[in-house]
Structure 1
Amino acid sequence: MSIINSEIKPFTAQAFRDGKFVTVTDADTRGKWSVFFFYPADFTFVCPTELEDLADNHATFEQLGVEIYSVSTDTHFSHKAWHDSSPAIGKIKFTMIGDPNGTVTNNFGVMREGQGLADRGTFVVDPDGIIQLVEITSEGVGRNAEELIRKIKAAQYVRAHPGEVCPAKWEEGETTLAPSLDLVGKI
């Protein structure tokens, strides 16, 4: 069963954000766009490069009205220790959710069975709590924040313009399509 167009499930989790421990719930995501960015573990190899990439592009996400929630099955204490010890992770201003019991990771279906670790999963959630985009990659394949931004812009455009869709490689400001009988077989 596809998770696309499904509502996120309820959760409550502890997180590290802006030098503080905070509680985050599914209700915190309502009314704004959110990215849930799952990764296997703190203090690893590909993960800090991905999170640093998100941190380097954080201002753009904020301009788009998008909240970022990075999630691993580490604790919020581990996130703080990593933030304090790594120059790459020290750049992070977004929320780092600790999910040691796996509730959030299981809710999004990215828990590695028998390992207690999350797959590399990215989920874009609209202001109504509906999942609009899913990307899951294998262990060794890092993700790209700029491509994620492009996809978020497309999702936001489609939401704001019912009846229009964004073709492959669409960039903000480019022509969209209005699906109709007249387009069948002409693209």
Structure 2
Amino acid sequence: MLTIGDRFPEFNLKAVVDTDPAKAFTDISNESDQGKWKLFFFWPKDFTFVCPTEISAFGDIAKEFADRDTVIYGASTDSEYVHLAWRENHPDLKDLPFAMLSDIKRELSEALGILDRQEGVCLRATFLVDPEGVIRFVSVNDLSIGRNPQEVLRVLDALQTGELCPCNWHPGEDVLKVA
């Protein structure tokens, strides 16, 4: 699995950005949103139970990520058509403020090393990538356990300080100073 300090892989994927079929689909690549921080979070399968709780929770705080010049991308190995159907049929997903990437060929997931060996679906992986395309944070949860979007936001805040941040640090608190 790729980790801290590795470059995020090149990719070009179909994405769902709206529930209106006429404007639902777009292409997103590693060249999209140049110069911004990027949050990529992957889930195992659409139309499941834990996944929409995480997806909607990231959607609920998407403005906070945007305020930090960070773009959110959610992704799974489902097709863009499955993503669209899920968004159309799940009330918590209808108005998502971020793209749902379709890694149906599993190229990005494989390059990241996040495919579950038994199921062949994405692990519940999260990556924060800096504006230069370098991975600065990685977290992977068991398939049955949802992640904490507030913690990802806290880590982003800490990374963006460029300082040493102690355990449980939050914006406005003191950072560590080397004597």
Measured against the shorter chain, the TM-score band is over 0.9
SS in 1 for 2:31: helix
Residues 52 and 91, structure 1, Cα contact 8 Å, conserved in 2? no
Q: Secondary structure at 2:32's aligned position in 1?
A: helix
Alignment map for 1:96-115 (pairs within 5 Å): 96-115=100-119
**Deviations, residues 152-185 of structure 1 (Å, cap 9, x unaligned):** 1001111xxxxx3111000001111133xx4xxx
After TM superposition, what 4+ stretches of structure 1 lie above 2 angstroms from structure 2? 113-116
Give yes or no for contact 2:42–2:124 (8 Å, CA) kept in 1. Answer: yes
The answer to whether the 8 A contact 1:38-1:119 is kept is yes
Deviation at 1:2, TM superposition (A): 5.6
Deviations 1:96-131 (A, max 9, x none): 000110011112211112522000000000000000
The amino acid of 1:153's aligned partner reads D
- AA aligned to 1:39 is W
Give the number of aligned pairs.
Answer: 175
Hey, what does 2:174 align to over in structure 1?
175
Match of 1:24 among 28, 32, 38: 28
Of Structure 1 and Structure 2, which has the larger fraction of its residues in helix?
1
Unaligned runs of 5+ in 2: none
The equivalent residue for 1:3 is 3
Q: Identity over aligned residues, as a percent?
A: 35
Contact 2:13/2:27 (8 A) holds in 1? yes
Q: Following TM superposition, by how much is the alpha carbon of 1:18 offset from its aligned partner in structure 2, in angstroms?
A: 2.9
For residue 66 of structure 1, the aligned residue among 60, 67, 70 is 70
1:36 partnered with 2:40: yes
Shift of 1:29: 4.3
Flag structure 1 segments of 5+ consecutive residues without an equivalent. 159-163, 183-187
Q: Structure 2 length as normaliser, TM-score?
A: 0.93
Asked if the contact 2:18/2:95 (under 8 Å) is kept, the reply is no
Q: Pick from 86, 91, 113: which aligns with 1:87? A: 91
SS in 2 for 1:81: helix
Q: CA deviation at 1:135?
A: 0.4
TM-score (norm 1): 0.89
Rounded Cα–Cα distance in structure 1 between residues aligned with 2:82 and 2:176 = 46
Tell me, yes or no, if the aligned pair for 1:29 and 1:129 is still in contact at 8 Å: no
